[in-house]
Structure 1
Amino acid sequence: MGTFTFFRTGLVAMLVLILGGCSGLPSSTEMPPVSELESEPYQIGVGDTISIHVWRNPELGQSIVVRPDGFISMPLMGDVKAEGKEPEALASEISVALGEYIRTPEVTIMVTSPASKEFRNRIRITGQVVSPQSVAFQPGMTVLDIVLMAGGVTDFAADSRAVLHREINGEYKSFVLDLDAIFADGDMSTNHALQPGDVISVPRKQLFRGEL
């Protein structure tokens, strides 16, 4: 009986080592590379709120939401296609059109609420947390911040095997996070800075790993 128990314990330990070695994930202390954030000029999208200012003609200025069809309505001009255009390009187009009605119009456009890009700039946490979250990214956010916003991990969380998924060069890469070390030992080596689009998943404890 003692020999069988020893053999079973040794087998479980071997399985854990094999699984850990075959995970293929980078070390939990390795800082995830920062992906190239979008650097292209902003293009107006559906749902964006834009502020239009016409110099010396305040009655033509307005703050307006881009409609689902991609258009906005302008005094004197009627419907104008806004979706897919850079603010400067749209301002130039409106200036030319208004030139038929007023002398040398100068138009400036500012995107005051970029709603169309909101979901591209969010952080998400799923799995064994009290309240899975999808929150707007804020500069300076860390792994600890989003875990606390989710209410912490549950009693069934394998918090030493949490994973950060980050899009790098068009594909998602995964990096191990040791939330147990962060909360229990104050070890901040995996409390990485987050960036827009990051997803954190916290798996459930598993019997064959000896976690239950």
Structure 2
Amino acid sequence: MKKIAIWMMAPLLALVLGTATAAPQNDLALGSGDVVKISVYNNPDLSLETRVSANGAITFPLIGQVSVAGLSSAAAEKKIAAALVSGNFVKNPQVNVLVTSLQSQQVSVLGQVLRPGRFPLDGSRNLLDVLALAGGVAAEGGDQVTILRTADGKTTKQVVDLTDVIRSGDQPANLDLNGNDVVYIERAPRFYIYGEVQRPGIFRIERSMTVLQALAAGGGLTPRGTERGLRIKRRDATGKIEIIEAKYDDLVRADDVLYVRESLF
């Protein structure tokens, strides 16, 4: 079956995984840089809009500094309410914490996407959702996505094949993204073709692409071209260029240069 280019699939990303669920904003952990709006029912003097400091705390009237980093909005509400009660400031306080700007829980999407940048995870927490926010994979983008994440001072790398995910319709749980993850879409591998072909130039390598398919991508041979003596210039592991006598069913590799000779007769 002919492969469908990933960039054409981008508008279908959300449809493919219809069971994917967005995380409610109040379930996300607060962190440095987040802006929160806090109110206490029937106590307008305690209303406050503030930013979580670098050390993960806010300063609240009457009770002073409160550490909220790592807490959900609901947990932060309970912690502030408990401090108001223990200090005999308010009896049975009804505290509401609303996140107005989520800065700590963002993911960076870079490389071959239509709108690279940083995106909040307040409404989307999995890979395909975030790629959709970035406009989908661009035409030059490849099938593989690299996810970089840092935890406890250690950076790990995960490579995901988008074609396999979309074809299976099953997104594993480990594709859920966390704050400060980096998603990178590499450029699709390409090959070069020149000589006696109709459209010499640079072309995308489709999955399991053969020399015959590469010739078709170049528009086929010119009237002066010959199928005999097809050659591929390819760099080996040491970077040295080797010349290979190509056959139709040979697979094309990234950065191959395919040369079509002119017929002598």
Range of TM-score over shorter length: 0.5 to 0.7
Q: What's the TM-score once normalised by structure 1's chain length?
A: 0.55
* Residue 159 (structure 2) pairs with residue 163 (structure 1): no
1:98 aligns with 2:84: yes
- Quick one: structure 1 residues 171 and 62, their matched pair in 2 at CA, closer, same or farther if it must change by over 3 Å? same
Counterpart among 146, 161, 165 of residue 174 in structure 1: 161
- 2:143 partner letter: V
Shift in Å, 1:147: 5.5
Alignment of 1:1-212 (within 5 A): 28-29=3-4, 41-99=27-85, 100-119=88-107, 122-126=108-112, 133-136=116-119, 142=132, 145-146=135-136, 162-165=142-145, 171-175=158-162, 198-203=183-188, 205-207=190-192, 208=234, 209-210=256-257
Check 1:143–1:65 CA distance in 2 against 1; reply closer, same or farther (3 A cut): closer
Gap change, CA 1:93 and 1:201, over 3 Å in 2: same
Report if the CA contact (8 A) 1:28-1:175 is conserved: no
Alpha-carbon distance in structure 2 between the residues aligned to 1:143 and 1:117: 15
CA contact (8 A) 1:164 1:198 kept: no
CA drift at 1:90: 1.3
Residue deviations 1:30-87 (CA, integer Å, cap 9, x gap): 9898697785931111111111110011111111110000110010001000101111
Could you tell me which runs of 5 or more consecutive residues in structure 1 were left unpaired when the two chains were aligned: 1-26, 154-158, 177-188, 190-194
Structure 2 unaligned runs (5+)?
148-156, 168-175, 193-233, 235-255, 260-265
Q: Which is higher, the Rg of structure 1 or of structure 2? A: 2
Count, aligned residues: 153
TM-score after normalising by structure 2: 0.45
Higher share of residues assigned helix: 1
2:200 aligned residue: none
Q: CA, structure 1 residues 165+141, in 2 after alignment: closer, same or farther (shift >3 Å)?
A: closer
CA RMSD of aligned residues (A): 4.3
**One-letter code of the match for 2:72?**
E
Letter in 2 for 1:81: S
Match for residue 6 of structure 1? none
Distance 2:132 2:159 in 1: 19
Equivalent pair of 1:53/1:61 in contact (CA under 8 Å): yes
Cα distance between partner residues in 1 of 2:65 and 2:258: 62
| 1:144–1:69 Cα change, 3 Å | closer
Superimposed CA distance per residue, residues 137-168 of structure 1 (whole angstroms, 9 cap, x where no aligned partner): 786965993456xxx75xxxxx6xx233166x
